[in-house]
Amino acid sequence: MKKYPIVAISRCGTYHDDEIDAVLEKLCSMADFPDILNKRVLLKPNILSDAAPEKAITTRPEILAALIRLCYRRGADQVLVGDSPGIHGPNFIPKTSMIGEVCEKEGAQWCEFAKEPRMHRIPGTLGHKLPLPKIMDDVDVIISVAKLKTHQLMYATGSVKNLFGMVPGLHKSACHMRYPTRESFARMLAGLYSVIKPHYAIMDAIVSMEGPGPAGGIPRHTGLLLASNDPTALDVAQAIIMGYQPFSLPLIRELHDKKLSQWNKLEDIAYPLLNPEKLVIADFKRIKQEKRTRLLMALFGPLVSRFIQLKHQQKEPKPLFDNDLCIRCGRCVKICPGKALTLDKDRGIVADYSACIRCYCCHEVCPADAITIEKRNGSGSWISRQS
């Protein structure tokens, strides 16, 4: 049944429990929070690489804690929390991000997504199957608990892209190889969304990330919290706040074109509290978009071979390695889907750019800020709206 898409947005200046509890309660009341009485609820935060909360890479533990409390106040039988960052092993528990600790304190159960995953056929991908956690089929309600962040590949992270973390561990890297362009990756993400079918989305935009996200960007206080009964609508609001035209983002286009959104026109989305058009951050440092290639790939992307898509993607800015900063941890080598990297103990990382598909997974997992994204024409791979 079609829902009426509602995005409730409120100011929330701090991560203090009292303020978040009150704002979250208001947002969820305004934006049609699902009936969870006696139900099992799965929360999917964005953990990415289990970094310290103040780096703005992960959903803040305070937001997750408030949401767990809200779920129990509304009668949930059990609240579960899970994610599966690419670089961590099967027994991963998020410690640095403090999410494991919050689960314990608030009485939520941490889930291991890599345990007994089930294969699911992903619509729109010519029959490709991906593993997804078994727990997904055993809960009644799934909530994406996202972070407002830029993303080198998809321009913005958001509540739909956040669900990619449900694909266990390094299975995610293989997806980058199979879907090398922004457009093909967006098609896979939209298919994944149609399988997972999340019921609700919350977005932590109190301290967001601008610049070269999703892991190497700059934390920025934006003082907002968002909730929606339609994750695709929430991502539209996020795009507007960041200063993007929503349909310029391949994932939003794909979700709309595949009729996976609850809205048809942007005007169908209701904003009962703040309107994102009034919240645009004029100098937000966004990822630069290539207008010409964007249009061509949007029109012809599905028709061209993966080899041509890969060559197209290789025109994108390269990851650059600073071997003075590199701590030789090998994470980037492990996650690289193109097998483009080798670690030389003396020289550091050696990259073969002819094998690099510009997925930026290496940049996401580097703990030492040793990887930057190439700047082009002096303008950089990320820009502020005013530049």
* Cα atoms found within 13 Å of the Cα of residue 301, Cβ hemisphere only: 25
Q: Is 73 helix (H, G, I), strand (E, B) or coil?
A: helix
Pick the closer one to ligand SF4 by CB: 34 or 330: 330
Minimum gap (Å) between residue 148 Cβ and ligand SF4: 23
Q: Rounded distance, CA 278 to CA 297, Å?
A: 32
* Residue 277, C-beta contacts closer than 8 angstroms, at least 6 positions apart: 240
With tokens 């510009």, the residue in question is 358
Among 319, 372, 380, 382, binds ligand SF4 (CB under 6 A): 319
- Residue 202 CB, shortest distance to ligand SF4, in Å, is 29
Say if strands 218-228 and 200-210 run parallel, antiparallel, or are unpaired. antiparallel
**Segment interacting with ligand SF4 (CB under 6 A) among 111-119, 218-226, 255-263, 368-376:** 368-376
Pick one of 12, 30, 240, 336: the residue that binds ligand SF4 (CB under 6 A): 336
Q: How far is the CB of 333 from ligand SF4 (least distance, A)?
A: 6
Nearer to ligand SF4, 158 or 338 (CB): 338
Q: Where are the alpha helices (DSSP H) in 271-342?
A: 291-300, 306-313, 331-335
> Is 186 a residue that touches ligand SF4 (CB under 6 A)?
no
CB of 213 to ligand SF4, least distance (A): 15
- Of 294, 285, 289, whose CA–CA distance to 312 is shortest? 294
Sign for the CA dihedral angle at 43, 223, 157, 201 comes to: positive
Q: Which of 76, 145, 196, 332 binds ligand SF4 (CB under 6 A)?
A: 332
Nearest to residue 338, comparing CAs of 366, 319, 321? 319
- At residue 134's C-alpha, the angle toward residues 184 and 145, to 5°, is 65
**By CB under 6 A, residue 366 contacts ligand SF4:** yes
Position 368 contacts ligand SF4 (CB under 6 A): yes
Is residue 226 part of the contact set for ligand SF4 (CB under 6 A)? no
Site for ligand SF4, rule CB under 6 A: 319, 321, 326-332, 336-338, 340-341, 343, 349, 351, 356-362, 365-366, 368, 370-371
